[in-house]
């Protein structure tokens, strides 16, 4: 009997430490499986293979009374868990509240620049008011970037957030403002 099968048996018997012992033994194989599963995903998806492995593993070991007969049965269950995760994400992206009916527009390189004609400035202000009602931190970031001219790193330091978080907020804010301004 392989080490994995012995650990799976221990998990079935309720050993709380068994899951911690299992992950290092199966991680590389699960990662290869995840990379293979994600090979069919469309370009621009945001889920990484590592995240898929971890989410799938958590679902598997979080089951009450897991009864895997052997290593092959475990990996079959892991493949099914990963498939379900990918299906759930695809369905979630198609929902209207997640922008399912909208075309995705790449926002890389989209910058709001001065000088802005007064009509455009009024439209930006109206959109900024709408943004502030929805997400005050995003509105504050826009004000610092657009009106104060701060760089992203400076804004992140000012707001006490990571640069990556600032990048995510900035991407959301630009998309929101773009959508609001173009609806008028």
- The pLDDT tens digits for 78-96 are 888 888 888 788 777 777 6
Give 19-29 pLDDT, tens digit per residue.
Answer: 788 778 888 88
The CATH number of 3-97 is 1.10.1740
Q: Say how far apart CA 122 and CA 97 lie, in whole Å.
A: 28
Q: Say how far apart CA 170 and CA 132 lie, in whole Å.
A: 13
Q: What pLDDT score does 114 carry?
A: 45
Give 84-127 pLDDT, tens digit per residue.
Answer: 888 788 777 777 665 656 666 665 655 545 445 556 667 888 88
Among 18-22, 47-51, 126-130, the range with the most confident prediction by mean pLDDT is 126-130
CB 82 within 8 A of CB 33: yes
pTM over 0.75: no
At the top level of CATH, the class of 118-183 is mainly alpha
* Long-range contacts at 78-86 (CB < 8 A, ≥ 24 apart): 78/26, 78/30, 78/33, 79/33, 79/37, 81/56, 82/33, 82/34, 82/37, 82/52, 82/53, 82/56, 83/37, 85/47, 85/52, 85/55, 85/56, 85/59, 86/37, 86/38, 86/41, 86/47, 86/52
**Cα torsion angle, 18, 10, 49, 89, sign:** negative
Q: Please state the domain extents for the chain.
A: 3-97, 118-183
């Amino acid at each position: 009997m392989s080490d994995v099968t012995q650990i799976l048996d221990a998990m079935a018997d309720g050993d709380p430490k068994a899951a911690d012992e299992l992950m290092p033994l199966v991680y590389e194989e699960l990662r290869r499986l995840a990379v293979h599963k994600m090979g069919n995903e469309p370009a621009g998806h945001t889920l990484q293979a590592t995240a898929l492995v971890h989410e799938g593993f958590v679902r598997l070991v979080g089951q009450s009374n897991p009864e895997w007969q052997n290593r092959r049965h475990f990996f079959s269950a892991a493949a099914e868990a990963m498939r379900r995760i990918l299906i759930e994400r695809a369905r979630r992206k198609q929902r209207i509240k997640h922008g399912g009916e909208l075309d995705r527009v790449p926002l890389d390189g989209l910058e709001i620049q001065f000088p802005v004609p007064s009509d455009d400035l009024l439209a930006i202000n109206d959109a900024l008011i709408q943004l502030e009602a929805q997400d005050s931190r995003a509105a504050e970031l826009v004000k610092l970037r657009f009106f104060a001219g701060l760089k992203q790193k400076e804004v992140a330091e000012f707001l006490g957030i990571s640069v990556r978080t600032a990048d995510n907020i900035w991407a959301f804010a630009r998309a929101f403002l773009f959508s609001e301004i173009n609806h008028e």
